[in-house]
Chain A
Amino acid sequence: DQQVKQNSPSLSVQEGRISILNCDYTNSMFDYFLWYKKYPAEGPTFLISISSIKDKNEDGRFTVFLNKSAKHLSLHIVPSQPGDSAVYFCAASLNTGTASKLTFGTGTRLQVTL
């Protein structure tokens, strides 16, 4: 049972346009949602997060929106740049009392074209 889903395996966007990456989840107990970016042959790097009590968080060109009623979040990148080409993982955090465990989606490969 996949609790975090990224239904688009890939996305191609022109440089300067908006990239929108989507993520759906099923567990209403998740307390934080995060986006990680991964380049080939490297580990994932943290990009941006949002608390489950917020509906928007912005950091420069990156904005994450959370719709709790729909159990859906999205990452907007504006404007998209060629260096943004990478695999983006959505992750959800569950506080177990002793630690926060992350559940990852399967990733969306973003290609930003010139």
Chain B
Amino acid sequence: NAGVTQTPKFQVLKTGQSMTLQCAQDMNHEYMSWYRQDPGMGLRLIHYSVGAGITDQGEVPNGYNVSRSTTEDFPLRLLSAAPSQTSVYFCASSPLVGAVHTQYFGPGTRLTVL
């Protein structure tokens, strides 16, 4: 059981470039989410999904797109990177029944936008 995996671990982009952060989980969790962590701000929810084909916005969705074609994968796309998107990004998953409040986090992707 690998849990929640994220790739890449580190990425440097130039302003205006696009990229996709990958997230996968092997726990058959319905709920998946993306957070960003900035100094002094805690973790803030970007987008989330309650199942394949269903996504919704979180607290800070602007500049990011998501899709959920399978239960396992939940990629986060940056359409045109900006320096304000420099952050550490965490993907998380949880079941929708049972321990719904306990989210399992991936190791994070540290993104720098120059």
Contact = CB atoms under 8 A, between A and B. Distances in A.
Given A99-B31, A106-B41, A34 B101 contact: yes
Given A44-B90, A107-B42, A102 B103 contact: yes
A42 to B, nearest CB: 6
A101 B61 CA distance: 14
Of the four ranges (under 10, 10 to 19, 20 to 34, 35 or more), the interface on chain A belongs to 20 to 34
A12 B35 CA distance: 28
A43 B48 contact: no
A42 B106 CA distance: 8
Interface string B89-114: 01010101000111111111000000
Interface in A33-59: 34, 36, 41-46, 49
Interface of A: 4, 6, 32, 34, 36, 41-46, 49, 89, 91, 93, 98-107
Interface residues of B, number: 26
B77 interface: no
Nearest to B94: A100
Given A49-B101, A98-B50, A99-B31, A43 B42 contact: no
A104 B44 CA distance: 7
A32 B94 CA distance: 15
A46 B93 CA distance: 12
A99 B108 CA distance: 22
Interface of B: 4, 31, 35, 40-45, 48, 50, 58-59, 90, 92, 94, 96, 100-108
A99 B101 contact: no
* Shortest Cβ-Cβ A-B pairs, 4 listed: A43-B105, A104-B42, A104-B43, A106-B42
Nearest to A36: B105
A89 B82 CA distance: 27
Contacts of B92: 43
A99 B48 contact: yes
Contacts of B45: 101-103
Given A43-B4, A46-B103, A101-B48, A89 B43 contact: yes
